[in-house]
Structure 1
Amino acid sequence: MAGGARPAEFVEALANGLAILEAFDAGHPEMTLSEVARRVGLSPATARRSLITLSELGYVGQEGKRFHLKPRIMTLGSAFYFSARVDELLQPDLRELVNRFGDASSVGALDRTDVIYVAHVSVQRARRAAAVIGARYPAYATSMGRVLLAGLGDDELDRRLAATEFRALTSRTCTDPCRIREEVLAVRAQGYATTVDQLDYGITALAVQIRDAGGRTVAALNSSGYTGVVTPESLIAERLPALREAASHIAHEIVRYPVLQSVLGS
């Protein structure tokens, strides 16, 4: 658990199983037992027990010596989507932004040092970092992530940055923690963040905060386009007012449905 000791009721076996499920991604669609154990940091015996359990539950399949996720894993994500009423409470504003400006729009929440996309609408078809629902990317490299980091207090911001593994995702990615901190503080002052080719080539994005009734940042909303077609300046001039209006509307929807506020702000 981030920021403190684990409670006595913490179930290590469950945590191991969830860590294994999260270990599969585009770069690791299938793995051997030893690869799973190494990637998650478990002993082969522990990883084997977890994989057998996940296989019996229908979340993991096996072909020869290699393990892979099965479609049943999607029920975990859809449970959040429907219980938080994402389609009803978040998607309409994103569709309106995309209908107005084209390109793409997303809502994201902060999870440790990453931003997770919880809603997304796009008309884009280019090959680049996928901003699909459930996608997870380093907060420092995204406009939404920087907005979310800006919503933290100074001590918590420093703790998250200290826990971050800074990697160059493109030749333009800023990986200097001091510079990132300066940029996050600037975002806090101006109320929005812009990024150009930080996460992937071809992505220029603008993001604003979504706040709860107490003024706490619980999520972020962005609008993005193709680098070279849009610029940070053009996004600010053309889209910032609409983005702030949509963020305000979403904030009111969150207040109307506290469960969504709880899951975004957790």
Structure 2
Amino acid sequence: MTNPADKPSEFVDSLAKGLAILDSFDSTHPEMTLSEVAKTVNLSPAAARRSLITLEHLGYIGRNGKRFHLTPKILTLGSAFYGATRIEEVLQPELRGLIERFGDASSIGTLDGHDVIYIAHVSVQRARRAVATVGARYPAFATSMGRVLVAGMSEEKRLAWLAGLAPEALTSKTCIDPCRLGEEIEQVRENGYATTVDQLDYGITAIAVPIRNAEGQTVAALNSSGYTGLVTPEQLVEERLPELRATASHIAHQLTRYPVLGSVLAP
């Protein structure tokens, strides 16, 4: 939950509790009992029960016996965002263009705390490994997009972000040393792009570039990824970096034409 000291006077705790409960369901916790929900969201059983009953009445939560789960109605919240920001019209065609040229997968993401949230994604990959989906979130430190987004911060914010990081190894190659991560992100800042190999999951080699607004601020990141062993970081830099930069520049120009999307991506 939000730190009480950071809450505005009009902050509605009950709404925050309900949203936290919705956010607590994922692939690891597709169903939970009342006590499991309360523990996951750090609420009292009574508070969790009131929120669950409210969400169930509104149609966002269902139950199977004593176990609660999300319902398809939750998808309407994400689809409303998708439609309002015109992502399908503005961003998806850009990603499809990259896929037509390079194959593999391409995504656009933004930073949310220490995670990257995928707001657009196109892939031709099959079941060799898990692939990203719109709405997925991953630890930013282990992704090419996350490193680009952090590199785009001011020095003060970047150092504070790194200081608050508690990295955990996701593969045997994941870099979890804060000092080394800081050095790698500084290199990303100087290069203007990031590459990663098997940092988030085995089999993922990726390259990402920043998407900047009219003021030059990094507001999102664009990536292209392939299978480790079939592509190398050097190949991605040589073959895909120029096209990625051109696409990112075109998207940046588009933001001035779509004010809602521009506002959503504002830092």
> Shared fold by TM > 0.5?
yes
Letter in 1 for 2:131: A
Unaligned runs of 5+ in 1: none
- The structure-2 alpha-carbon separation of the partners of 1:28 and 1:130, relative to structure 1 and needing over 3 Å to count, comes to farther
Output aligned runs, 1:122-133, within 5 Å.
122-133=123-134
Deviations 1:146-188 (A, max 9, x none): 0000011122112222333311111111111111111111100
Superposed counterparts of 1:74-113, under 5 Å: 74-113=75-114
SS of corresponding position for 1:256? coil
Deviations 1:22-77 (A, max 9, x none): 11111111111111111111111111111111101100101111110000000111
**Alpha-carbon separation, structure 2, partners of 1:31 and 1:14:** 20
> What's 1:21 paired with?
22
Matched position secondary structure for 1:8? coil
Determine helix, strand or coil for the equivalent of 1:265.
Answer: coil
Per the alignment, residue 173 of structure 1 pairs with 174
> Could you report, residue by residue, the CA deviation over 1:112-165 in whole angstroms, capped at 9, with x for unpaired residues?
111100000000012534310000001001000000000111221122223333
CA distance in 2, matches of 1:49, 1:140: 36
2:260 maps to 259
Q: How many residues align?
A: 266
Q: Is the 8 A contact 1:84 1:259 kept in 2?
A: yes
**Normalising to structure 2: TM-score of the pair?**
0.97
Aligned to 2:241: 240
Q: Does 1:160 align with 2:152?
A: no
Moved more, 46-55 or 123-132: 123-132
- Distance in 2, Cα, partners of 1:140 & 1:35: 29
d(CA) in 2 for partners of 1:44 and 1:253?
A: 47
SS in structure 2 at match of 1:9: coil
The yes-or-no answer on 1:203 pairing with 2:223 is no
Q: 1:2-38: per-residue Cα shift (whole Å, max 9, x none)?
A: 8x72100011111111111111111111111111111
State which drifts further: 90-99 or 157-166. Answer: 157-166
The AA in structure 1 aligned to 2:91 is L
Residues 117 and 135 of structure 1 are in contact (CA less than 8 Å); yes or no, is this contact kept in structure 2?
Answer: yes
2:125 is aligned with what amino acid?
Answer: Q
Q: After superposition, where does 1:48-87 map in structure 2 within 5 Å? A: 48-87=49-88
8 Å Cα contact 1:219-1:265 kept in structure 2: no
Percent of paired sites with the same residue:
68
Q: Is the 8 A contact 1:113 1:161 kept in 2?
A: no
Task: Give the distance between the partners of 1:243 and 1:55, measured in 2 at CA.
Answer: 44
Structure 1: which amino acid aligns with 2:9?
A
Match of 2:119 in 1: 118
Query: What is the Cα-based RMSD across aligned positions, in Å?
Result: 1.4
Q: TM-score, normalised by structure 1?
A: 0.97
Partner of 2:195: 194
CA distance in 1, matches of 2:192, 2:106: 18
**Following TM superposition, by how much is the alpha carbon of 1:256 offset from its aligned partner in structure 2, in angstroms?**
1.2
Name the structure 1 match of 2:232.
231
SS in 1 for 2:95: helix
Give the Cα–Cα distance (whole angstroms) in 2 for the partners of residues 91 and 211 of structure 1: 17
**Partner Cα separation in structure 2 for residue 192 and residue 28 of structure 1:** 35
Give the secondary structure class of the aligned counterpart of 2:256.
helix
